[in-house]
């Protein structure tokens, strides 16, 4: 972008007076051109103004324009050496919050680099890693258990979905038999028998369906909430273990480095960071051990109840033992939904 300086325009009268004075200055009085040999009675050349005059009524405080001159004229404002220049931009020092944020970003960058280097060296076999065989075995068992329980959950959902459609089909078939019984007198007795059978099957099917939904809900809680919470703690523990090993490797390096002033300073900083990472690592390892212990106890209790429910409900339904099926529903305090209820909520997801 190009900018031009705006100057105060002159009146035509002032312009003509200046031109006439220049002509008189050039030619002198009498019309003869004045030269070094014939200076003549020349008038003195007008001197440039030392300051801009402010007309009456104007504000005496004349601001400074963005071009460096005055708002009312084109004369630039020159700052003497050693004096600060006037500027509308305030110079402020960074706030403590910004400094802390930059420091956090710096520390995060350094930590990320160290962890990435540690992970790469571990894969290449160029460094040692902290190994807790017993705890890592328990973690691997947890992940394998979660995969197997996830497969049970998937199959149980499929069974519940298929059986839901079976119950709905039986209900519709019973209604169709009942309707034909009134419209076909010659087959009324046969239609009524089948309609009653389908109604009983639908009623028992609703009870089994409620038991299956309860089973699916409990397995889903174990897999996607209880176990997943422990898995998240395990992931935090693994990240902490990499950080611990990364700072441990740096500490070993500075301990074996030459005893220079810079290395001694780095050794002190690294040792402080290493102690903090070791405390965090030991705390997370303890948290993982406690969570795995309570998870295993809770899983056993819940699955004992759910497997007993699943066995009793399925056996009673397919053996036609309605009394045993109703007793199972009361034992586990399961409420049966009405035949016209909507499909289970997980099917709509």
- Dihedral over alpha carbons 220, 225, 229, 230 (to 10 degrees): -30
Which pLDDT belongs to residue 78?
A: 41
pLDDT < 50 positions in the chain: 1-15, 18-19, 26-44, 51-52, 54, 56-91, 348-349
Using CB atoms within 10 A of its CB, is residue 263 exposed (0-12), middle (13-18) or buried (19+)? middle
CB neighbours of residue 73 within 10 Å:
18
Pairwise CA distance, residues 297 & 143, whole Å: 16
139: Cβ contacts below 8 Å, ≥ 6 apart:
234, 288, 292
Which pLDDT belongs to residue 161?
A: 95
Which pLDDT belongs to residue 259?
A: 86
Which pLDDT belongs to residue 61?
A: 47
Give the angle subtended at the CA of 340 by the CAs of 334 and 341, to the nearest 5°: 50
Pairwise CA distance, residues 184 & 99, whole Å: 89
Which pLDDT belongs to residue 147?
A: 96
């Amino acid at each position: 972008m190009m900018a031009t300086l705006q100057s105060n325009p002159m009146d035509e009268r002032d312009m003509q007076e200046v031109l006439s004075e220049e002509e008189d200055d050039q030619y002198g009085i009498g019309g003869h051109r004045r030269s070094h040999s014939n200076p003549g009675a020349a008038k003195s050349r007008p001197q440039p103004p030392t300051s801009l005059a402010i007309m009456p009524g104007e504000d005496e405080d004349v601001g400074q324009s963005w071009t460096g001159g005055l708002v009312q004229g084109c004369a630039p404002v020159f700052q003497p050496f050693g004096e600060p220049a006037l500027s509308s931009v305030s110079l402020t020092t960074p706030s403590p919050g910004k400094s802390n944020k930059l420091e956090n970003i710096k520390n995060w960058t350094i930590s990320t680099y160290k962890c990435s280097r540690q992970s790469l060296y571990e894969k290449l076999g160029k460094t040692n890693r902290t190994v807790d065989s017993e705890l890592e075995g328990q973690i691997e068992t947890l992940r394998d258990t979660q995969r197997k329980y996830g497969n049970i959950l998937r199959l149980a959902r499929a069974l519940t979905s298929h059986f839901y459609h079976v119950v709905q089909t039986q209900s519709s078939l019973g209604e169709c038999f009942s309707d034909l019984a009134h419209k076909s007198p010659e087959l009324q007795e046969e239609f009524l028998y089948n309609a009653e059978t389908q109604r009983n099957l639908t009623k028992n099917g609703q009870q089994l369906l409620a038991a299956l939904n309860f089973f699916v809900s409990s397995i889903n809680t174990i897999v996607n909430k209880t176990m997943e919470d422990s898995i998240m703690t395990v992931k935090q523990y693994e990240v902490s273990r990499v950080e611990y090993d990364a700072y441990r490797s740096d500490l070993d390096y500075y301990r074996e480095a030459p005893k220079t002033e810079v290395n001694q300073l780095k050794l002190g900083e690294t040792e402080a960071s290493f102690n903090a990472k070791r405390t965090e690592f030991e705390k997370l390892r303890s948290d993982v051990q406690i969570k795995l212990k309570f998870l295993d106890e809770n899983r056993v209790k819940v699955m004992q109840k759910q497997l007993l429910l699943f066995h009793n409900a399925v056996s009673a339904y397919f053996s036609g033992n309605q009394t045993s099926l109703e007793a199972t529903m009361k034992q586990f305090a399961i409420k049966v939904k009405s035949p016209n209820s909507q499909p289970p909520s997980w099917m709509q997801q």
